[in-house]
Chain A
Amino acid sequence: MIKKTRLRKGLAGLVAGLIAAIALLVIALPVMMQYQQHITESYHIEEYAAILKEQKEIEEKGLASCYNPSTGIISINNTLGENVTIVLVYASDGVNEEVKYFQLGTLKITPGTNRISVSDLGINLDPREIKILKLVTSRGTIIQPPYCSKVAIVITGVALNMLLGEEQAPGGLLAATGSETFAHGLIRKIVNNTLILINGTLVPTPESTGSGYMPLAFRADLKIEDPNIDLTIERYDVGDYLLMIINTTTSYDYTQSNIGCYNTYCYTFHIRGEHAIYGLGYSFVSKYDDSDDNGPLKYTLINNGYDHIIIGVEFNNPEETGLYNGTIYVSKVKVSDASESDLIAKFYVDKTGKNINATLYVNGNIINATAFYRTYNIKDPIPSIDQFAIYVPVEDLLNVGFGDSLWIKTAITYCSSECSTDDSEWINFTYNPLKLIVNEVYRKYFGS
């Protein structure tokens, strides 16, 4: 009897121990469940941030825009295939600013080309005076349209401001006697009998001047007999890109001329007289305005090239003496500290010492850069420079590809008796190399 009692007590003790253990587990279980819920919520936060980032990158690539100050029209080409909603518009003329909020869904950018008047957005500033214009989408993408040079034509993903092919002008544009085509810059020529392909980045040269004695980068002064029209195009900026197919038996000049070119060889192409233009592709350099603050930076210049981009600056009220020190930041992601950019380009234009320099810094490597500038004087070019741009081989140096997004920022310090610094905002730029269309044209006229 005593033995049974002891056994029961022993078993009771074991059961009590187990109950205590289970009780401890029961107490800990809700804590663990709450913790698990927290982990799930935390994961969703990360997922949401990643999705938003991805959506913004897609929007940045799929929305091309520009602003025409003379008409007050913003042109937005939406290639995303779905509506994009704008929730906020910011506009400033440098002194006054306006911010307009739009209820979700009231302002949509539909697929295709959209033309929106700033007055329709409720902006009361004089459209001609608007210097900063920003549209914010519902996903947080900021669209900052540069000034339109012409409405961009997008052909199979290649953004060109102008494209003339045999589809538009069967047999080509027949330029009659008295016509002239001129181009200068980092251009290359390929010849096959009477066919000439010219392509490359253009640089103005004072060897040939256009309206207002501006140094010419490109001129097409064409007398077209049928349908009896005159067509004249003149361009004066550093960084335009030209692709041209000419068929001619007329003699022409193609000579080396390094004016406006640093650390590379540039050429001038010039033809006067009869020639047929089979194809003309042209990409204007985008100019991002920064003149509102009267600092030394007037515009940031950016354009696509064959397999590179051109990034540069235009000086505000360029001085004949002093030193312009410039920095160009290029980053694959937007960084809060510009010095953390993937690629940094530094340059100077020493107008007093008559010297220029351009250097790229990437992954610890220092590379002597190719650069271009606009000068108004052949004999004394350094003091008369007002545009300076650097050739940035982004594919080689940053491993970026077609359609990739880049963040670009420029900064200038001008020092004479005192120094003043000016920098641009971060500019989102989509890399659309022109090699696709150049190669396509080459194959068409020259075979593989």
Chain B
Amino acid sequence: MVNRKSMSPVLSAIILAAAIIAVGVIVLMWISGHSSMVIKQSQIDLLRSEQAAKENLVIVHVTYNASQSKVIMYLLNMGYNKIFLGPIRIKELRSTDYEDIFTPDGIWFGNNYTVKVVVDSTESNPSPLTMNIGGLSEYLENLEIRDPSAITDEINAYILEPYNEINGYYKVEIPATLDQDSTYSIEVWTIVNIYNKAYLCKLYTAQLTT
């Protein structure tokens, strides 16, 4: 007959606690690793989405209608279903029709504009979406924001659907009075939506000479 030594309840509790702590530590380390992976993946997503938006959004033409005092831009989305049209700014028109986007003292701004969907020569106005601004520093550096704490929380954007889904194109009108014989740079920004946070990426700078 073998004389088995009994396990004390205290030792049993210690083993149980040790097992739970060990598993917990492993899970916590895993979650921690997972979180850093998620952050890294978010940055990759941001670059990929920016690239997809750049390849898919086509600025067909930019022109200035002097009689209506409007810059008109024709846009086509070639197929990516997550293109958001964000701020548009004419750098040289800081002093006129604009709205500050981020900072109270107007470090950065966007010109007011309207978007129209043109289907069978009929124009309609899509509703803008409101998005929360994200905080990846490399994408905010581009905006020359000297005071990130002053960033407002929300920004308006328009979803641009693929041409074969809407059977048409987009017409953007920017109210502006431009001088003759001058060159203007029109920056088109997209918004990339990562985990419900909006990040701004510059898509194109179109040159317009009047």
Contacts and interface: CB of A to CB of B under 8 A. Distances in A.
Interface of A: 2-4, 6-7, 9-10, 13-14, 16-18, 20-21, 24-25, 28, 31-32, 35, 38-39, 42-43, 45-46, 48-49, 52-53, 56, 87-88, 90, 92, 97, 99, 101, 103-104, 132, 134, 136, 138-140, 142, 293-295, 336-338, 409, 411, 420-423, 425
B23 A17 contact: yes
A74 B45 CA distance: 41
Contact of B16 (A17, A42, A422): A17
Quick one: which of A49, A134, A409, A420 has the most chain B CB within 10 A?
A: A49
Interface string B161-179: 0011001110100000000
Contact of B118 (A43, A56, A99, A422): A99
Interface of B: 4-9, 11-13, 15-16, 19-20, 23-24, 27, 30-31, 34, 37-38, 41, 44-45, 48-49, 51-52, 54-56, 58, 60-61, 63, 74, 76, 78-80, 118-119, 163-164, 167-169, 171, 181-183, 202-205, 207, 209-210
Given A2-B6, A136-B58, A423 B207 contact: yes
A294 B13 CA distance: 89
A28 B61 CA distance: 50
B41 A42 contact: yes
Given A3-B6, A24-B24, A422-B183, A140 B15 contact: no
A49 B23 contact: no
B48 A46 contact: yes
Contact of B203 (A17, A25, A293, A336): A336
A239 to B, nearest CB: 23
Contacts of B209: 293, 295, 421-423
Contacts of B204: 336
Contacts of B76: 87-88, 136, 140
Contacts of A24: 23-24, 27
A14 to B, nearest CB: 6
A92 B78 contact: no
Contacts of B4: 3, 7
Given A9-B7, A46-B48, A338-B207, 11 more contacts: A14-B16, A17-B23, A28-B30, A38-B41, A52-B55, A53-B55, A88-B76, A90-B60, A101-B119, A140-B78, A295-B181
A419 to B, nearest CB: 9
Contacts of A136: 58, 60, 76
B48 A101 contact: no
A88 B167 CA distance: 11
Contact of B56 (A16, A52, A97): A52
Given A42-B45, A101-B118, A139-B78, A16 B16 contact: yes
Nearest to A295: B209
Contact of A88 (B9, B49, B169, B181): B169
A101 B169 contact: yes
A14 B34 contact: no
Contacts of B16: 13-14, 16-17
Contact of A142 (B15, B58, B164, B202): B58
Contacts of A38: 41
Given A14-B15, A21-B19, A101-B167, A421 B182 contact: yes
Contact of B19 (A17, A88, A411): A17
Contacts of B78: 52, 138-140
B85 to A, nearest CB: 16
Contact of A132 (B51, B61, B167): B61
Contact of A103 (B24, B167, B207): B167
Contacts of A338: 207
A423 B183 contact: yes
A421 B181 contact: yes
Nearest to A422: B209
A32 B6 CA distance: 42
Contacts of A4: 6
Contacts of A14: 12, 15-16, 19
Contact of B7 (A6, A99, A138, A139): A6
B20 A17 contact: yes
22 contacts: A6-B7, A10-B9, A14-B12, A28-B30, A42-B44, A48-B52, A48-B80, A49-B55, A88-B169, A92-B63, A99-B60, A101-B168, A140-B56, A140-B58, A142-B58, A295-B181, A336-B202, A336-B205, A338-B207, A420-B182, A421-B182, A425-B207
Contact of B6 (A7, A31, A99): A7
A90 B23 contact: no
A293 B210 contact: yes
B48 A45 contact: yes
Contacts of A48: 52, 79-80
Nearest to A20: B20
A336 B44 CA distance: 21
A182 to B, nearest CB: 38
A140 to B, nearest CB: 4
A420 B60 contact: no
Contact of B52 (A45, A104, A132, A142): A45
A339 to B, nearest CB: 10
Contacts of A421: 181-183, 209
Contacts of A425: 207
Contacts of B203: 336
A332 B32 CA distance: 42
A410 to B, nearest CB: 11
Nearest to B6: A3
Contacts of A13: 12-13, 15-16
B174 to A, nearest CB: 16
Contacts of A42: 41, 44-45, 48
A221 to B, nearest CB: 41
A414 to B, nearest CB: 9
